[in-house]
Amino acid sequence: MTPRIFATLFSTVLLIFWGCQTTETAQDQQEEPKEDETFELPHFDSLEYPDLPELESPDVTTFELDNGIKFYLLEDDELPLIDVNVRVRSGSFMVPDDKTGLHTIMASLMREGGSENYPAGELDELLESRGAQIETSMGTTSGSARMNVLDDDFEEILPAFIDVLENPAFPYNRLAQIMQQQQSQIARRNDSQQQVTNREFRRLIYGENSVQGRMTEYETLDNIERDDLFDLHEQAYVSENLKIGVTGDFEEDEMKAKLEEAFSDFRSGDPVEIDFPGTDYEYESTVNLIDKPDVNQSDILMGHIGGRRDNPDYAALQMMNQILSGGFSGRLFRIVRSDMGLAYSVYGTYGSNAFYDGVFNAGVRTASENTSEAIEAVKEQIERLQDEDVSQEELDDTRERIMNRLVFRFETKSSTLSEMMSNDYRGLPRDAFDQYIEELQEVTPEDIKRVANEYLKPDQMHILVVGNADEIGDQLDQFGEVNEIDISIPGGQQQQPQFR
């Protein structure tokens, strides 16, 4: 053992010994509490908290290339990382009904299948060796891609990322794997009671054949050809459809120059228009049951169509929803779950989407024998919002909870940049968040009652119950004629995928 190592070990032992002696001495010096001495914790109402910090938006630099790609840059030197997020103007609405599921397969295979210059195996090895990530996905109204990499590796990984975006290979072997995964998901899609409830309620609202309600089936998978992936990709991934946000440890001018050089030759094309037809919705009262014999509780959702994000009453509607179903302090939790003991869990939302109407729903999970009572209890709380004035105290408490939660919405610079990109993508003003804060401050008890009466229809809701029909019995008859929904999977057993 070298003298240096011996000295280090000896010093460490002395420090540990001294620390133990110090701890024992401190413990010996503590006074024993007197037998008649009592300690009282202060009531939470008497606690004083410092004011929340002002929400300050950092400066984001934006610029646009001649080919239409728009960039958002925000320096963040907290970690030696660079994060690139791409928002693609696209979505499942571009896929024909008979090929439902194509968008998911295409987006997954962009990353999993590699690209022309970076085949799947080589791409996997490159990313693993650098601890980097590349991800791609596509939803109903947008596609996305992401690269996360150490700042020192940015210039090496960026060409691979761009090649994945622009020149995916869609190899047959990886396509077969993803198709089999999709078939397995179809086979298992009725296993989860909650997933069945959410899926089938959405189909009740929007319609089974709508973009929002249609499902991937064995038949639609069989209709998908490899060329369909290339066609969808070529429509979506053109420069006019891309918004790219970059956060991380970089110098702004240098990063701007690198991005201009890297993306200036990205393929151009026709911009995609997101133009959903108006939701063909009629308010009506329906009662729907899905029999799931393997459970002993009912999963219940009730509600109707919601609204749009640009509604002038958006802030008041969010306040109303928070009063009804805002976690532990919401009325559904306090009354239906805690006071009445009717629910394992309760939840709800008034959805407001940008491109099509959202969904209003209130949900509860309860024992089978309590199904009808739980439905009545939830409906009663919705009707209370219409019939009774909300107290100023409840409104102020609700407003404070919302504001406290919003503080953490911009906890990181990356989340701030994402919010700005999202607002631009959805056609909202840059200061949409600031406007929302101001509008929240102005909501009154009268506003809550007004929007509850204008936007909620408790007598014209779809009621969906997923549970054990034998245990539920005839409890649903009091709400109207019961429609039994068949969720059996058409097409039988999954098959080996065939491609053309």
Q: pLDDT digit string (tens) for 264-282?
A: 999 999 999 998 877 779 9
Round the average pLDDT of the chain to a whole number and report it.
Answer: 89
On whether both 243 and 113 belong to a single domain, the answer is: yes
On whether both 333 and 442 belong to a single domain, the answer is: yes
On whether both 257 and 327 belong to a single domain, the answer is: no
What is the mean pLDDT of the segment spanning 365-369? 97
On whether both 292 and 233 belong to a single domain, the answer is: no
On whether both 245 and 327 belong to a single domain, the answer is: no
On whether both 384 and 464 belong to a single domain, the answer is: yes
Share of the chain above pLDDT 90, in %: 79
Position 223 in a domain:
yes
Q: What own/partner pairs with CB < 8 Å and gap ≥ 24 does 252-258 have?
A: 252/61, 252/73, 252/75, 255/73, 256/61, 256/63, 256/71, 256/73, 258/154, 258/155, 258/158
* Beta pairing partners, 248: 75, 82
On whether both 315 and 436 belong to a single domain, the answer is: yes
Position 160 in a domain:
yes
pLDDT value, residue 54: 55
pLDDT value, residue 1: 45
Position 14 in a domain:
no
In the chain, the N- to C-terminal Cα span, in Å, equals 70
Q: Residue 475: is its pLDDT beyond 70? A: yes
Position 275 in a domain:
no
pLDDT value, residue 280: 79
Q: Residue 37: is its pLDDT beyond 80? A: no
d(CA 182, CA 463): 30
On whether both 182 and 247 belong to a single domain, the answer is: yes
Position 12 in a domain:
no
Q: Considering all CA atoms of the chain, what is the largest pairwise distance in Å, rounded to the nearest integer?
A: 89
Position 196 in a domain:
yes
On whether both 291 and 258 belong to a single domain, the answer is: no
The three-state secondary structure class of 346 is strand
Q: Residue 500: is its pLDDT beyond 90? A: no
On whether both 400 and 467 belong to a single domain, the answer is: yes
C-alpha distances out from residue 242 to 60, 249, 355, Å = 18, 23, 18
pLDDT value, residue 51: 55
C-alpha distances out from residue 109 to 117, 147, 242, 497, Å = 15, 16, 19, 15
pLDDT value, residue 9: 43
Q: At what angle do helices 102-112 and 172-188 cross, to 10 degrees?
A: 130
Q: Residue 380: is its pLDDT beyond 60? A: yes
On whether both 300 and 435 belong to a single domain, the answer is: yes
Q: What is the pTM of this model?
A: 0.84
pLDDT value, residue 409: 73
How wide is the angle at C-alpha 38 spanned by C-alphas 37 and 43, nearest 5°? Answer: 155
Which of 100-114, 277-291, 305-319 bottoms out in mean pLDDT, i.e. has the lowest? 277-291
On whether both 314 and 248 belong to a single domain, the answer is: no
Q: pLDDT digit string (tens) for 297-335?
A: 999 999 999 999 999 999 999 999 999 998 888 999 999
38's CB contacts (< 8 A; 6+ apart) are none
Regarding predicted confidence, which is higher, 372 or 47? 372
Residue 319 sits in which domain range?
286-484
176's CB contacts (< 8 A; 6+ apart) are 497, 499
Q: Residue 443: is its pLDDT beyond 90? A: yes
d(CA 198, CA 303): 12
Place 217 in a pLDDT band, splitting at 50, 70 and 90.
very high
d(CA 153, CA 357): 43
What is the mean pLDDT of the segment spanning 458-464? 97
Rg (alpha carbons) of the chain, rounded to whole number: 28
**Could you tell me the CATH number of the domain that includes residue 322?**
3.30.830.10
What is the mean pLDDT of the segment spanning 125-152? 97
How many domains is the chain partitioned into structurally?
2
Position 83 in a domain:
yes
C-alpha distances out from residue 71 to 44, 49, 145, 258, 447, Å = 47, 40, 14, 12, 39
Position 299 in a domain:
yes
What is the mean pLDDT of the segment spanning 367-393? 97
